[in-house]
Structure 1
């Protein structure tokens, strides 16, 4: 949610920031500001007219009680009442118009966010060829059984691949705790308010599973319940950092025929998500901190990657700036998105009403940031393909063996 009061003092920078998105949100902002201005003009006039009407009604009652002539007071009150009847529906219409516009406005883009996807750096050596993850995993990824039981884009993971996933999650959670993140297993069913608060509604309805018999949704990321953990609160301290592990669910609407082979794009997957609540002045540094942790994880796993500053017209509604980490997949001979991290500034905090109290000051909205520590399915793909040996087996990094992963798969 944008701070329209602050923006109205100097709207052009905000309009320009939204114009970079190329989605019409700059014009919607102008319309919202115009509706707000008209509303602010009507409110005092309506309040004055209502007060005059009330005073007139009191004067008429007094005149009738004393037997005085009330005809002039009645005529005056009739005129005032007519004006109130004109203003009240106009006020209600403007309030509704403003509400409808406000919920469609995305976050302002950061000046340092890219105009087009911009690779910033690379790490690791790219393999020139290799078998894909389904060939390497063999029976440990059973797409046929997943399709039989749940439909397309579902899979069974079996055998040593299960121990590899569990080791990966445990290693990452331990690493994040060392960086000051509190481990959390959050709910994966949430109310509409939680999705609205994080900006997933009304922006991404087509991607979200909704229960038929209860007012609940399946989350596509633990960002949603982690953000709502302090909804409606004045936090006693910031920064606060959480690491949430959960299954995630996405309908992948609009992805028909795209990445249909294997477990790269599926409806259900596990993920460890980082989430931070910080003071506004600290959010740019926190964004770099989350990115550095994501890079540390991929380097620890020996997965070649590149960092990309994502184009503003590809940002979600809540993000002001986003970095993607794309892993190199030898079987495809290209980089593919593996993790990302976004600075959502005060956008989510305003929707969820999350504030902190600066020392000696009034409560202010915090800034929130999120970052994927490990998207398990895609990380398994990257591990298998980048650590395949000539004999067809996969050599597992030693950091995961310490947590129960096998030394070799296959």
Structure 2
């Protein structure tokens, strides 16, 4: 989404912050490695996700506030789903080159018997903006006083990891899965619990 603002984009400061959300596909080369963590859908070559993106003024307090806003949105999503999760304020040695600060969200995954990353959010301050030439100033017709904007991003939902977290968190002793209450309005009239088998799906409530 940062590319939407590239090529000498000039934004009036009064129009900031800008918030965007998009659904798209990610492609990774890490799939196919050996080890139990890489079996199933935990690591895939291609997966779908919902991504959050924001642009703020070149003010560290404003971009820090926006990072907290994105983190709180993600926390609210996982709380409503009833997941057992934790938030990690990542140390500097775990940050990629663009990131000024990053939070990782991890859910407890009983099948792996460990915490697994389900989301993250980062502030890149002006790292991306300098390379994409995303700038802002008080007014379009004002001379000078151009500043590189701050950009932030977050993964609201990586679909395969979310499926793992929901199925493992809400699986019952008989193998059925209780659908989180917040998702039931979107289940086309189906009610929990649902029993999953290889092949056809059998619904315990029918």
For normalisation by structure 2, the TM-score amounts to 0.84
Structure 2 distance, partners of 1:302, 1:256, is: 31
Q: Which residue of 1 aligns with 2:176?
A: 393
Structure 1 gap ranges (5+): 1-225
Larger proportion of strand: 2
Q: Does 1:407 align with 2:197?
A: no
Structure 2 distance, partners of 1:317, 1:404, is: 41
* Residue pairs, 1:376-387, within 5 angstroms: 376-387=159-170
Structure 2 distance, partners of 1:277, 1:334, is: 34
Structure 1 distance, partners of 2:170, 2:126, is: 41
**Cα offsets for 1:163-209 (capped at 9, x unmatched):** xxxxxxxxxxxxxxxxxxxxxxxxxxxxxxxxxxxxxxxxxxxxxxx
Structure 2 distance, partners of 1:352, 1:337, is: 29
Structure 1 residue 243, shift from structure 2 partner: 0.5
> Secondary structure of the residue that 2:44 maps to in structure 1?
coil
Q: Which residue of 1 aligns with 2:3?
A: 228
> Secondary structure of the residue that 1:396 maps to in structure 2?
coil
Q: Which residue of 1 aligns with 2:49?
A: 271
Q: Is the 8 A contact 1:341 1:370 kept in 2?
A: yes
Q: Which residue of 1 aligns with 2:201?
A: none
**Cα offsets for 1:64-92 (capped at 9, x unmatched):** xxxxxxxxxxxxxxxxxxxxxxxxxxxxx
Pick from 236, 242, 252: which aligns with 2:20?
242
* Residue pairs, 1:198-213, within 5 angstroms: none
For normalisation by structure 1, the TM-score amounts to 0.43
Q: Which residue of 2 aligns with 1:335?
A: 115
Structure 2 distance, partners of 1:321, 1:227, is: 18
Larger proportion of helix: 1
CA RMSD of aligned residues (A): 1.6
Structure 1 residue 280, shift from structure 2 partner: 2.4
**Cα offsets for 1:127-166 (capped at 9, x unmatched):** xxxxxxxxxxxxxxxxxxxxxxxxxxxxxxxxxxxxxxxx
Structure showing greater relative contact order (alpha-carbon pairs closer than 8 Å, 6 or more residues apart): 2
Compare 311-320 and 364-373 and name the one that shifted more: 311-320
Q: Which residue of 2 aligns with 1:36?
A: none
**Cα offsets for 1:186-244 (capped at 9, x unmatched):** xxxxxxxxxxxxxxxxxxxxxxxxxxxxxxxxxxxxxxxx0010112102421111111
Q: Which residue of 2 aligns with 1:46?
A: none
Q: Which residue of 2 aligns with 1:368?
A: 151
Structure 2 gap ranges (5+): 196-206
Structure 2 distance, partners of 1:297, 1:378, is: 14
Q: Is the 8 A contact 1:326 1:337 kept in 2?
A: yes
> Secondary structure of the residue that 2:98 maps to in structure 1?
coil
Structure 1 residue 394, shift from structure 2 partner: 0.6
* Residue pairs, 1:318-329, within 5 angstroms: 318-329=98-109
Structure 1 residue 390, shift from structure 2 partner: 2.2
How many residues align? The count is 184
